[in-house]
Amino acid sequence: MTNIERTVEKFNELPAYVKLTVDSEVIKSKITFLNKKYKVNLFVLLFFIVTNELDYDGIENYIVNEFEKEPEEAKIIADEFRESVLSCLEKRLRFLLPDPEKNEIKNGEIKNIILGILNKDLINEINNPNEILDEINFQILLVLTEDQSFVNKAEKELYQNQERLTNKKFSLEEKPKSPTVSNWLKDFIKQNGTVMFDNIVLMKYMTESENAKKLDKDEKDLLKKLLLLYRNIKFFPESMLSDNVDDWEIFPVEYGSNDSITFSNVKSEEEKKINELKKEKLNYEQGTLESEVINEEITYKKEIEGLKIMLKKYKPGTLEYSAIFEEIKKKETEA
């Protein structure tokens, strides 16, 4: 098993919220920026860090050895990697940590993170996988149950959110407006008031309001999530539809969906090359130089074959896919 194969296996044993945070678009975009800026590939490095295969002090040496950088430049890259990627990752994971007794972030900082999500990073968060939404909900519910006054602050930040929710033409009070989170909430409130509403009211607005009727399925799904989120915050705890606290949620979570993809064990071209080498090996006696060279080549091809099979388990664009793909390129270049 190659180092990257072992590391990916260790990565997949981490808690779901950790894996999904590491594999988030935010983290991947930061690494992609550094890769282009310094002509390196730091996806594998991130895997080694989060699985404790490499500690922080070893980052510079890794960059020197892996990318043939001078120590001075390696330090610059390492410092930016720590500041841009690792500090962002650590802060996010501390926020999502499900055990409040172990969470090092102070209560005030947690509140500010939540308010920031509601005011300017709602679209990214509302589309997160269930495992991430569960942890965000846990932190929000913890704050709401301890501080009832936080409800008004959270509602205010949500109501002022200027992120663009949809792309179709939108009007408010018969005037063209930008379809922001704020304006969608204003439109809903204008038609339904500020009283607690049920799912019938919500669906009637979704199907009969002039603005909502223009939306495609994905945009309607997003609007529905927004209105459920608004209801859960504004009317908390009345909006919680169950007496069981374990069933409470703020960000709506769609249970039962499964985005995982299974792949058959499809062999790559490396298998054919391995078989050809095995046939060629029969022409030489065991222990001869020719036989040993072919054995080394077979071992090398098997490593690439294993990586290509492993690659098929992951979707293009995921961190695992990027790291394994780069390892394959590296080995094929060395061949």
Tell me the pLDDT tens digit for each residue of 285-315: 565 555 555 455 555 556 666 677 777 777 7
Residue boundaries of the structural domains of the chain: 3-96, 119-247, 269-334
Which spans in 164-266 are helix H? 181-192, 199-208, 210-213, 217-234
Q: Token digits for 156?
A: 């205010």
Residue-level length of the chain: 335
How high is the mean pLDDT in each 10-residue block of the chain (335 residues)? 75 90 92 95 92 92 94 96 95 82 71 96 93 93 90 97 97 96 98 94 94 95 96 94 86 65 38 50 56 54 67 73 76 66
The burial of 15, by beta-carbon neighbours within 10 Å (0-12 exposed, 13-18 middle, 19 or more buried), is given as middle
Q: Is 193 left (phi over 0), alpha (psi -120 to 50) or beta?
A: left
* Global model pTM greater than 0.85: no
